[in-house]
């Protein structure tokens, strides 16, 4: 997610049996959001709120709690 010149990454996990409320989100879409502590909450166009873990960039990787992902740009 980008806000002005700041980029934010969040980790949202969907359970096997649960609905994926993030499906309506598309790239370059304006969305309502808030950051609180280590959480990123996004409001989808259909009114659902998605709570994601706020991630931190570290060089070529993204750290989301105990998970680390290699980031390629």
Which tens digit of pLDDT belongs to each residue from 9-25? 777 777 777 777 787 77
CA 1 to chain CA centroid, Å, is 7
**What pLDDT is stored for residue 22 in this prediction?**
81
Q: What is the pTM of this model?
A: 0.67
Token pair recorded at residue 70: 């290699």
How many Å apart are CA 56 and CA 28, to the nearest integer?
21
The 10s digit of each residue's pLDDT in 7-64 is 667 777 777 777 777 877 777 778 888 888 888 898 988 888 888 888 888 888 888 8
Give the model's confidence band at 73: pLDDT under 50 very low, under 70 low, under 90 confident, else very high: low
């Amino acid at each position: 997610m980008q806000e002005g010149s700041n980029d934010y990454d969040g980790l949202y996990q969907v359970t096997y049996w649960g609905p994926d409320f993030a499906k309506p989100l598309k790239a370059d879409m304006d969305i309502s959001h808030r950051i609180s502590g280590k959480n990123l909450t996004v409001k989808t166009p259909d009114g659902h709120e998605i709570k994601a873990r706020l991630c931190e960039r570290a060089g070529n990787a993204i750290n989301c709690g105990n998970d680390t992902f290699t980031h390629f740009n």
